[in-house]
Amino acid sequence: MSEKKQRFLEALLFASEGALARQKIKRFMSLNDQQLDELVSGLQKKYVQTNSSFKISSTSQQVILNVEDEFVPEIKNFLEAEFSSTLLKTLAIVAYRSPITQSDIIKARGNKSYSHVNELIALGLVQAEEYGKTKLLRLTPKFFKYFNVTEKQLKQAFTKTPGETQQKLVEPVAEPEQKQKSPKKPKAVKQPKQEEKTAEPKKSEPEPIKTVQEGDRNTANDFFSS
């Protein structure tokens, strides 16, 4: 195969936001399986001979251009430094639950996450589609290329996450919302005030309920504020 086609394949892989399907490459470049394999093999040899920082990974379904493993940790540190810790926490929830509704993100991270979601969409790491009155969020191919991780590796990473941490990721807000409503019931009934004249000590009963609720809310949000 010509060097020009090899360079063109390299340019396609470099410009893409993730892995390219073999069928798509063959159709676009008018290649058959053998010709594509020759181009990929030629690029692989070229990178080895020149001690390049790039490598090409190829499967029966797709081809992807990546950096060599030895550079991955440093690159990740550099890229992650571009994000605030709060933005990364919002992104982590999307990655763990993808697809997830924006309303669930807001419940978990608060109203500030509206700006997080918009920023992640602008960066091309998350995509959104209309889903009733809210939006459905999911990761983009650019996310996987940006952090040099496959969808399978991401799932395996979360599978290894301790159960307690997984639970905090999945249910950080449902409990605080329910508990915020529960203190209202004693206020509506106003039992302490009705028995004020005959049993004054009962005035203090609602207060322990509020204290417990605040403590529970803080505990539930520890994962996100740490």
Is 103 part of any domain? yes
Q: What pLDDT score does 34 carry?
A: 92
pLDDT category at 224 given cuts 50, 70, 90 is very low
Same domain, 47 and 17: yes
User: Mean pLDDT for the chain?
Assistant: 73
Q: Which residues of 205-214 are buried (b: 16+ CB within 10 A; e: fewer)?
A: ebeeeeeebe
pLDDT average, residue stretch 174-198: 47
Q: What pLDDT score does 35 carry?
A: 92
Give the Cα separation of 195 and 203 in Å (integer): 9
- Domain membership of residue 21 as a residue range: 3-67
Is 72 part of any domain? no
Number of structural domains the chain divides into: 3
CB atoms within 10 A of CB 189: 11
Same domain, 96 and 118: yes
Same domain, 40 and 101: no
Same domain, 164 and 84: yes
Same domain, 37 and 110: no
| pTM of the complete model | 0.43
119-142 pLDDT, tens digit per residue, is 898 888 899 999 888 899 999 988
What is the CATH classification number for the domain harbouring 63?
1.10.10.10
